[in-house]
Structure 1
Amino acid sequence: MCSERSWLIFQCLAHILSYKNSLKKKTVEKELGNILIIDDDEDVLFAAKMLLKKHAKNVIIEKNPKKIPFLMNNDTYDVILLDMNFSKDITSGKEGFYWLEQILERDPKAVVILITAFGDVEMAVRALKEGATDFVLKPWQNEKLLATLNTAVKLKKSYKEVDQLKSAKKQLEEEINQPFKEIIGESQAIKDVFKIIEKVAQTDANVLILGENGTGKELISRAIHTQSHRKDNVFVGVDMGAITETLFESELFGHKKGSFTDAKEDRTGRFEVANKGTLFLDEIGNLSMPLQSKLLTVIQNRQVTRIGANKPVNIDIRLVCATNMPIYDMVEDSTFRQDLLYRINTVEIHLPSLRERLDDIPLLAEHFVKTYSSKYRKSGKKIGAAALKKLQKYHWPGNIRELQHAIERAVIMSDESSLTPDDFFFLNHKPEGQSNDQENTFNLDEVERNVIKKAIDRHDGNISKAAKELGLTRASLYRRLEKHGL
């Protein structure tokens, strides 16, 4: 007469043979990954391995539970099948609960399925309470065991995905919480800008950012937003120079369906979209006087009325504006409303040109080299000291944007691992001798251009000092720099 143990093994093997015959008609959809089976009965281990090896990447079997610490230190497992009863105690399950605790202590997210021939409802409930994922009785039904394992593997996969998401979220939060992470520079000129941002960001004061093209005005506006109490709400940027007069009201204030010929549906304007957040109006100096008047009304009343609507909508925004235009000269020339200027410049931020922060060129250049080396699959490319020296001597009329494009072009065209001065040949100044011809010219524009250039060169790009020597305001000098393309 067969013993109870032999009967259990016989039942397991019989189920395996039966299941093998059914494989021709049915397959398991997903692989089971790495499976660890711990049982002191070699026949059970053999039977389980025969069943699972066709559905798992690896099946590791072990009869001695004392090797669990070693096994877990040397590998990871998608599912662990753990016997509840070993030779010392064949019915109570105490050893199984002990080793379950040891497994979970080493890996709190381990997926453990307990197996035993002496289970009951009370033991199953306790197993789940103590951290087991499931409970399987011997002799098992093969299809049911595989289904249980598939579910367990999916659970393990979800644990991994959650961990990855948490890790990504943590990294993202760390990056977001780094002040001015997108603004590269350590020069005193840019540090002074950082100080202003830190002071103004936590307020709702309107900010006007002044600076030449390519100095990073939008980056500064985003830095103000991310450091403010509105950071969890939307940031909306609008290029005022790209909006035609006919579309101005529709784009900024919105319209109702049928309010004009092409109004085929209701449209929410940028002011409404930015509600509770920050609205960035770039190139505000390009607005005509009539549009300035309409904008002023909205800013004063903190209300917008869509085209075709009668009821105004209240708005709550943080307003940040920017321009490269000499806006104070424009006020004097009556091309920009003084009352609008007062509304938008509670705090002003003057962005230094790249000529005023030459010490930051190595940092900026290395950043752009790394960025474009990765983009164009030219890993390991660096920029040499001689090339950096040349970049620091150049005048950079296009500021950081011009530097960025210069680096991108050099990375694309260079075949060497290190960028050299020759890779920036296109930055060379005008041919020798031309400057002498220019000095002898009587063309007033050329004379003004040469004098301004000499003043800036004499003061190593310091706009304030150059403007003082020339008898101009900073704004007036900026205007002339723009005029002459300097």
Structure 2
Amino acid sequence: MSKGKILIVDDNKSILSALDILLQDEFEEIVTISNPNQLPSLVESQGFDVILLDMNFSAGVNSGNEGLYWLGRIKELQPELEVVLFTAYGDVELAVKALKQGATDFILKPWDNDKLKTTLRNVLKLQQSKKEIVKLKQKQRALKGEIKKGNHFIIAQSPQMKHIMNLVQKVAVTDANVLITGDNGTGKELIARELHRLSKRSEEILVTVDMGAISETLFESELMGHKKGAFTDAREDRTGKIENANSGTLFLDEIGNLPLHLQPKLLSVLQNRLVTPIGSNKTIPVDVRLVCATNCNLDKMVNEGTFREDLLYRINTIQIEIPPLRERPEDIEAIANYFVSIYSHKYRKPNLGITQPGMSKLVSYQWPGNVRELQHTIEKAVILSDTNDLTPDDFFFKPSMTGLNDVFDGTIEEMEIKMISRLLQRNRNNLTAVAEQLGITRQTLYNKMKKYNL
């Protein structure tokens, strides 16, 4: 465990000096103040582990009520902080009252050096154990979230996908950073999960971060974590996603959506393997295996100045390109049958199957939305089916992507799908360029793509 940080509050400056010297080897950082009125601002802005608090500050007063008052204020601001009370006037009743109000221990003056150090050492261990429990609970919540996403089977019948799965097996056993590229809906996240499953870190957590869904203002808080009081809504300490992934795998999905001005922050973490939560001055070492994914052309973005070249080198030790579904028709039949089995069970329609004409229609379609579009097409067909045979009439596809200036008599949503899909194709999935042409923010564009499964 680290040595931690202590705040000592006493109106006697000689005592402060003596304790500062005595505790140098016990704590990484020691802060001393003689005026308790400074307590609220310090408690909110500094990440203390322990506070050693005198109980009397006014001349001639030895009731201990001042200490109890400031104990209450500390607990209001930081309930989890360990507070040890310090007084020259021993009173069992006062000690009991202090402990009931949240004090961790009670030390009498004059103190015994060894006993004082032992007490504070134990209190520090208690505080650090509590922090570890909080981190474990947060990691457990993250793990439960990953488990709920379920395990999806990767179907590889085509030569392209068999080659990719062979590459995944070779790369997974290393700690090399991997960049997975490909169109939306091709299964990049499934490849990331397979890399983790086959790795030496498979017993640890895989933490997924959707970079396109994190607002710029919350980027640091989500990835690096924060201390309570670091900003307005920081009501408690929060462990960042990167620290949650410690010893495991960190999957940064849609890495191409990370704004240029935030890229140096991520690059610094990846280079130094250290994170600093917002509101803290302590760096936390992290050991993660990095996997990223994007549908953007990062090389083109580097040339355009919207993606850092050094960050691309950092995340791109090995690149795995997932081909679109239209280029691997051998996989369509197997994937379609897999989803039929999944949804026929889910919707309690056993014995469902796809007829040969129905399968021919699926194989001949271009699937602009790739596997994700195929999945939703099959689910819709299963839900609406009245017989055990899924025919061509059971499969409905999106409107064909004609010119943007053609007269269109469909719904507004269908028009949006058409416009966004066409511009994505024209701009080679450069979301920034598409958003500018549509006159919307990149976050709005990303939300619409999620909504329409583009």
**TM class by shorter-chain length?**
0.5 to 0.7
Name the structure 2 match of 1:411. Answer: 382
Quote how far apart the aligned CAs of 1:478 are: 5.9
Q: Which residue of 1 aligns with 2:335?
A: 364
Per-residue CA deviation, residues 192-214 of structure 1 (Å, 9 max, x unaligned), is 11111111101101000001000
RMSD: 3.0
C-alpha displacement of 1:414: 1.3
1:49-81 CA distances to partner (integer Å, 9 max, x unpaired)? xxxxxxxxxxxxxxxxxxxxxxxxxxxxxxxxx
Cα displacement string for residues 137-166 of structure 1 (whole angstroms, at most 9, x for unaligned residues) = xxxxxxxxxxxxxxxxxxxxxxxxxxxxxx
1:228 pairs with 2:219? no
Q: 1:309 to 1:478 in 2, by over 3 A?
A: closer
Q: Structure 1's 399 and 426: CA in aligned 2 closer, same or farther, altered over 3 A?
A: closer
For the residue of structure 2 that corresponds to 1:247, the secondary structure is: helix
Shift of 1:237: 0.3
Identity between Structure 1 and Structure 2 (%): 56
CA displacement, residues 325-383 of structure 1 (integer Å, 9 cap, x when unaligned): 11111111000000000000000000111011111111000000111111111111101
Aligned residues: 273
Distance in 1 (alpha carbons) for counterparts of 2:363 and 2:430: 24
Distance in 2 of aligned mates of 1:214 and 1:477: 15
Task: Assess if the C-alpha contact under 8 Å between 1:394 and 1:427 holds in 2.
Answer: no
| d(CA) in 2 for partners of 1:416, 1:224 | 40
Of residues 162, 186, 195, the one that matches 1:215 is 186
1:324 aligns with 2:295: yes
From the CA coordinates, give the structure whose radius of gyration is larger. 1
What's the TM-score, normalizing by structure 1? 0.53
| Structure with more contact order per residue of length (Cα contacts < 8 Å, sep ≥ 6) | 2
Q: Is the 8 A contact 1:208 1:349 kept in 2?
A: yes
1:196-275 alignment runs, 5 A limit: 196-275=167-246
- 2-structure distance, mates of 1:309, 1:181: 39
Q: Does structure 2 retain, via aligned residues, the 8 Å contact 1:241–1:284?
A: yes
Aligned-residue offset at 1:424: 1.2
**CA-to-partner distance for each residue in 1:14-62, whole Å, 9 max, x for gaps?**
xxxxxxxxxxxxxxxxxxxxxxxxxxxxxxxxxxxxxxxxxxxxxxxxx
Deviation, 1:476, is 7.6
Conserved 8 A contact 2:174-2:199: yes
- Aligned residue runs from structure 1 range 379-398, under 5 A: 379-398=350-369
1:477: Cα distance to partner?
5.3
CA distance in 2, matches of 1:477, 1:255: 37
Letter in 1 for 2:330: D
| Matching residue's letter, 2:354 | I
Q: Which of the residues 371, 374, 377 maps onto 1:400?
A: 371
Displacement after TM superposition at 1:317 (Å): 0.2
CA distance in 1, matches of 2:308, 2:353: 49
Deviations 1:85-140 (A, max 9, x none): xxxxxxxxxxxxxxxxxxxxxxxxxxxxxxxxxxxxxxxxxxxxxxxxxxxxxxxx
TM-score (norm 2): 0.56
Deviation for aligned residue 1:425: 3.7
How far did residue 426 of structure 1 move?
A: 3.6
Matched, 1:309 2:309: no
Partner of 2:305: 334
For residues 392 and 244 of structure 2, the distance between their equivalents in structure 1, rounded to whole angstroms, comes to 47
Q: Would the aligned equivalents of 2:296 and 2:428 in 1 still touch at CA under 8 Å?
A: no
- Point out where structure 2 has 5 or more consecutive residues left out of the alignment: 1-150, 408-417, 438-448
- Runs of 4+ residues over 2 Å off in structure 1: 425-431, 475-480, 482-486
Q: Give, in whole Å, the separation in 1 of the partners of 2:181 and 2:362.
A: 24
Question: Alignment partner for residue 420 of structure 1, among 388, 391, 394?
Answer: 391
**Partner Cα distance (2:281, 2:428) in 1:** 46
Kindly indicate whether the alpha-carbon contact (under 8 Å) linking 2:324 and 2:370 is maintained by their aligned counterparts in 1.
yes
Matches within 5 A, 1:447-486: none
8 Å Cα contact 1:326/1:476 also seen in 2: no
Counterpart of 1:284 (choices 246, 252, 255) is: 255
